[in-house]
Amino acid sequence: MVQIKTPEQIAKMREAGLVVAAIHAATREAAVPGATTRDLDQVARKVLAEHDAKPNFLGYGGFPATICTSVNEVVVHGIPSDEVVLKDGDIISIDCGAIIDGWHGDAAFTAFVGSGHAPELLELSRVTEESMWAGIAAMKQGNRLVDVSRAIETYIRRQPKPGGGRYGIIEDYGGHGIGTEMHMDPHLLNYVDRRRGKGPKLVTGFCLAIEPMVSLGTPGTEVLSDDWTVITTDGTWSSHWEHSVALTDEGPLVLTAPDGGRAKLAEHGVTAAPDPLA
């Protein structure tokens, strides 16, 4: 069952989404050489408190922190730690969430620590982010869930990889419905699996967290002995981008983007829905 939201509920989710955007801004600034991933967690905690928002990751299935900090070959679910000190040249994916009045927001981005990153790393993050936007642009009336998966996969497959070879589209994790819980039906693959059918129709009130994860090598992952940290099986570095999106009568609204997705969706010829809080 897909939870369909009213405009009032979408406005609440927009509130939560803007808190997530504020955590992104603060943690992006704090992700510098010498900082620990625990420092970033504390930054996120402070922003949540300032907005009277609750964390949704803390305690989720026993997760011990407020955000996920996934460095280099870590794909997702890295646990913030005093032991992980960011170095010049690292890449880090920071995944953040917030709850306002019971409504959830969830979004992630990849940041470059310091400077001088190889072009293939810059391109990895760009391709991952742009595939997310291609997926968001496919969130329109009349489409089905598989159209979002297809848009993400098609975008990635059309990008030449510097140095040759193929990008790995991570298969073990994907996007999800979101609303009164962080993870709800349906599960959203980042590629098309014909055995799964086309999925539900995208209608007004449908909300999805769209989150491609891409590696420089394998699509395969394994979980470390801490039961959380997900790494690529071949050790290649990976990128993760995510936004929470609502479909409205007036098009998609990117709940976790400060501008509601207006600028990036325009590049796809899509008009973002007006901000219900503006």
Residues lying near Mg ion in the complex (CB under 5 A) are found at 95, 106, 108, 209, 242
* Nearer residue to Mg ion within complex by CB, 123 or 242: 242
Q: Is 183 marked as binding a ligand?
A: yes
| 110: three-class secondary structure by DSSP | strand
CA 113 to chain centre: 19
Minimum CB–partner distance for residue 173 and Mg ion (Å): 9
* Nearer residue to Mg ion within complex by CB, 73 or 211: 211
Minimum CB–partner distance for residue 94 and Mg ion (Å): 10
List the one residue out of 49, 47, 68 whose CA is nearest residue 57: 68
Q: Is 24 marked as binding a ligand?
A: no
Minimum CB–partner distance for residue 65 and Mg ion (Å): 13
Minimum CB–partner distance for residue 163 and Mg ion (Å): 29
Q: Is 82 marked as binding a ligand?
A: no
Q: Is 242 marked as binding a ligand?
A: yes
Sequence-ordered list of residues with C-beta below 8 angstroms from that of 263, at least 6 positions apart, any chain: none
Handedness of CA 193, 194, 195, 199 (dihedral sign): positive
* Nearer residue to Mg ion within complex by CB, 47 or 108: 108
Six-digit token string for 156: 């990635």
| 266: three-class secondary structure by DSSP | helix
List the one residue out of 246, 197, 263 whose CA is nearest residue 15: 246
List the one residue out of 215, 179, 220, 171 whose CA is nearest residue 196: 171
Sequence-ordered list of residues with C-beta below 8 angstroms from that of 7, at least 6 positions apart, any chain: 248, 276
* Nearer residue to Mg ion within complex by CB, 162 or 191: 191
* Nearer residue to Mg ion within complex by CB, 15 or 106: 106
Q: CA 250, CA 259: separation in Å to the nearest integer?
A: 15
Q: Is 41 marked as binding a ligand?
A: no
Minimum CB–partner distance for residue 20 and Mg ion (Å): 9
Binding site members for a divalent metal cation = 95, 106, 176, 211, 242
In the annotated binding site, the residues are 77, 95, 106, 176, 183, 211, 242
- Residues making up the binding site for substrate: 77, 183
